Amino acid sequence: MDLREGSPAAVAVILGERLKQARLNADMTQTQVSELSGVSRKMVMGAEKGKVQLETLVAIMQALGLSDHLNRFLPEQTISPVQLARLQGKKRQRASGSTSVKPEGDSEW
């Protein structure tokens, strides 16, 4: 399934299944992942079902040796030149909420 489709809950379940498969591919038990990541076994079980907090997910990914995937998961975001000009060099702290996000390909140009 393409992760860009489906509800957030459905995507979370798929990511949990992928996390479980990564653990099995590494030939590790939930207990071993728990000990390496510093989270409870119950949290590892929850993560494999798609129920996980971000910090726990990162810890489990690090324990499984998947931390190199984190930059691809959410690449560093740069400030657009337009926003930089508006902010006159100040880093943006919050969104105005006055504009809506347009899907890729729906340019007004």
Question: Is 105 part of any domain?
Answer: no
Q: SS3 letters for 12-59?
A: HHHHHHHHHHHHHHCCCCHHHHHHHHCCCHHHHHHHHCCCCCHHHHHH
CATH number at 12 reads 1.10.260.40
Question: Is 43 part of any domain?
Answer: yes
Question: Is 96 part of any domain?
Answer: no
Question: Is 63 part of any domain?
Answer: yes
Question: Is 101 part of any domain?
Answer: no
Question: Is 25 part of any domain?
Answer: yes
- pLDDT for the residue numbered 19: 97
Kindly give the confidence (pLDDT) of every residue in the chain, 109 residues in length, as a single tens digit, with 9 standing for 90 and above. 677 888 999 999 999 999 999 999 999 999 999 999 999 999 999 999 999 999 999 999 999 999 999 888 888 888 888 887 777 756 656 777 776 655 555 545 5
The four Cα atoms 80, 5, 72, 15 give a dihedral, to 10 degrees, of 140
- pLDDT for the residue numbered 101: 56
Q: Range of 47's domain?
A: 8-73
- pLDDT for the residue numbered 32: 98
Global model pTM greater than 0.75: no
- pLDDT for the residue numbered 26: 96
Question: Is 58 part of any domain?
Answer: yes
Q: Is 54 exposed, middle or buried (0-12, 13-18, 19+ CB in 10 A)?
A: exposed
Question: Is 86 part of any domain?
Answer: no
- pLDDT for the residue numbered 2: 75
| Number of folded domains that form the chain | 1
